[in-house]
Structure 1
């Protein structure tokens, strides 16, 4: 597809991603309406609009580089103040809600199949694939597509539907904390903590939270240098563990999947460093700011692949199916959260970690300044990579 900026124009695409992320942050800190919407949504929606107007391409090596290099560095920097002894105490409740959310995904896939199986070919296999993806992530999507031997054109249509729905889904989730109905029905201590920061006249909540701090050249050097070292070490360790741990039975497969996942290893290694050397990592100025800016690049890239024209031309019913799955997931997750007195922030992040994966859930926690929930949701969301394939196989074989 021809666009104003070609996919090979690397420098211009990087200029757009970083420039639009910076402008989104400026709007969030300058205008009250933008602060309520959040800079993350502005970044995402702007990219979605420009990609559908064919100003920027929907695929490029630049976007892959953001996923491959930028996101791991961002996660590492944002975990520098996470003490592992506190994390385990805070993550138990969200784990329960995450598992409930996974059940919601399975129920949504089943309902979507019952409603649409006469209109979409091989929907049973597709339901299994999307179940794996909406509990785990992209790796589960690929694994299920291969396991069920789904035709390439259906896989491509599902990818496009998924991309568009994900953009809309993140928009809804990020908007929920600003909606009076949800604030009245749920406890929201993390939102209240952020809002307790005094807001002066002419400021927004975002600009008040992100006040100027003293950051030295040494801080920046140690932040970036240590983040690269931790990511490089973690990725190498994950690859090594994946290569030596056998997969001869179900238990070893789970261990291989867990210890071979780079995000789990990055999270674990970073938290160990932040716990054992909290006096060093916890006092590095600029880590949160740099990590947050990198996450904004991620939000720009999320909005890019959602091609509305491809959905209309190829398979609008697949979008409806994905919508049913996500809607049931949210109803089950938020319903359980209300019934068992979970916080609003926990419901939002549990659903996000299930449908979008640990990286998007962590990114949302960062964008909302829910710093205490970043590490727990990363750990719990990674569990989805393990159970996603099992849930996908169960659903797919049940519906075929």
Structure 2
């Protein structure tokens, strides 16, 4: 585990250096660079971090990053920004379901008997993230071999769409982002400010873990975001001045792990139909949403973040918003993404039942 953690952090550090020291790295941004580094390493060498190391990165470290990012959020701006995300998010969910059902019909001969299970898990994960994937998979109980391939396809397609969303957003939504307000400047923070910001994040994280023990039925991310939000409204905002920059840095290992968990080679054999099905779903959703966005004149940044809230869930939507320097969308991205937690599992089970039904697709 220690070796894997060191390797992940070294890759992330290399991504940080490349994103600051090279022209192409500055153009892509740190998140895109570390994601690409992870993809290259795992697909060239075949190395992947062990489950314990990945779980530590995706668990406590990413939770601390989320707490830090939300500690810089002004609650008074929540509703206006969340309202702009709601419509494209709901449209993303509807488009995902339609793409799943249409794909099950068109690709049915390739998918065979497993198409109902795949329809269920892909509907779940692409309307709210991996938490829904796990919930539906536990209910449908697919074979381990199918679950492994579906998980890999989910990671690969998500990673590609996140990278494309980041590239599109950085290239074409700069004019929209020009009016956004960053909670902090890019100037280096004094050591004392950095320490205080870290203490705020750790305090929120520890408090959230304690509350989650008592409220075991409440999703832990909901507890974490609620406490971080409340703390962000407390007096003493100057002591939280460095939270945003810290959170943005701490969330980068998560994307290194996403890249390292996306081996394409293993999907190009027997898993190819599953990869094609996942790519079909996300591609149709993305293309249709961007076309509707042009017709309805939705802001590009909001549309991309809303799509990410459906495809990847609240954590990745938050990461996309902050990577696009749209800090005002950070909390609304989480709030909208949590909606996917509420109904994504049900949609997955319904889609699986529809595909399985003799009168269905």
TM-score, structure 2 normalization: 0.91
In the alignment, is residue 267 of structure 1 matched against residue 225 of structure 2?
yes
What is the SS of the residue equivalent to 2:109? coil
The CA deviation string for residues 187-215 of structure 1, in whole angstroms up to 9 with x for no partner, is 9511x347x99xxxxxxxxxxx9733332
Q: Residue in 2 aligned with 1:388?
A: 344
Which of the numbers 208, 231, 239 marks the counterpart of 1:234? 208
The CA deviation string for residues 104-157 of structure 1, in whole angstroms up to 9 with x for no partner, is 110110111011111213202210111011112222112212222322221111
- Specify every segment of 5 or more residues in structure 1 that has no aligned partner in the other structure, as ranges: 1-7, 198-208, 244-259
Matches within 5 A, 1:192-341: 192-193=178-179, 211-217=186-192, 219-243=193-217, 260-275=218-233, 277=234, 279-341=235-297
Runs of 4+ more than 4 Å apart: none
The CA deviation string for residues 71-123 of structure 1, in whole angstroms up to 9 with x for no partner, is 11001111122121221222112012111110011011011101111121320
Comparing 67-76 with 13-22, greater Cα deviation is found at 13-22
Taking structure 1 as reference, are residues 13 and 193 closer, same or farther at Cα in structure 2, changes over 3 Å only? farther
Q: Residue in 1 aligned with 2:130?
A: 138
What is the SS of the residue equivalent to 2:286? helix
Kept in 2: contact 1:47–1:304 (CA 8 A)? yes
What is the SS of the residue equivalent to 2:45? coil
Residues of 2 paired with 1:315 and 1:383: CA distance? 31
CA RMSD of aligned residues (A): 2.2
Residues of 2 paired with 1:332 and 1:309: CA distance? 29
| 1:178 Cα deviation after fit | 4.4
Residues of 2 paired with 1:63 and 1:170: CA distance? 19
Which of the numbers 12, 19, 27 marks the counterpart of 1:36? 27
Q: Residue in 2 aligned with 1:173?
A: 165
Residues of 2 paired with 1:41 and 1:27: CA distance? 11
Residues of 1 paired with 2:204 and 2:324: CA distance? 25
Residues of 2 paired with 1:193 and 1:384: CA distance? 28
The CA deviation string for residues 331-367 of structure 1, in whole angstroms up to 9 with x for no partner, is 2322332222211001110111100111111111222
Kept in 2: contact 1:102–1:135 (CA 8 A)? yes
What is the SS of the residue equivalent to 1:314? coil
Kept in 2: contact 1:20–1:43 (CA 8 A)? yes
Kept in 2: contact 1:187–1:344 (CA 8 A)? no
Residues of 2 paired with 1:146 and 1:267: CA distance? 26
Residues of 1 paired with 2:174 and 2:347: CA distance? 31
Q: Residue in 2 aligned with 1:346?
A: 302
| 1:282 Cα deviation after fit | 4.9
The CA deviation string for residues 270-327 of structure 1, in whole angstroms up to 9 with x for no partner, is 111212x1x4245423212211111111111110111122112331011000001101
The CA deviation string for residues 15-49 of structure 1, in whole angstroms up to 9 with x for no partner, is 32222222222222233322222221110111111
- Specify every segment of 5 or more residues in structure 2 that has no aligned partner in the other structure, as ranges: 357-361
Residues of 2 paired with 1:266 and 1:332: CA distance? 33
Taking structure 1 as reference, are residues 55 and 399 closer, same or farther at Cα in structure 2, changes over 3 Å only? closer
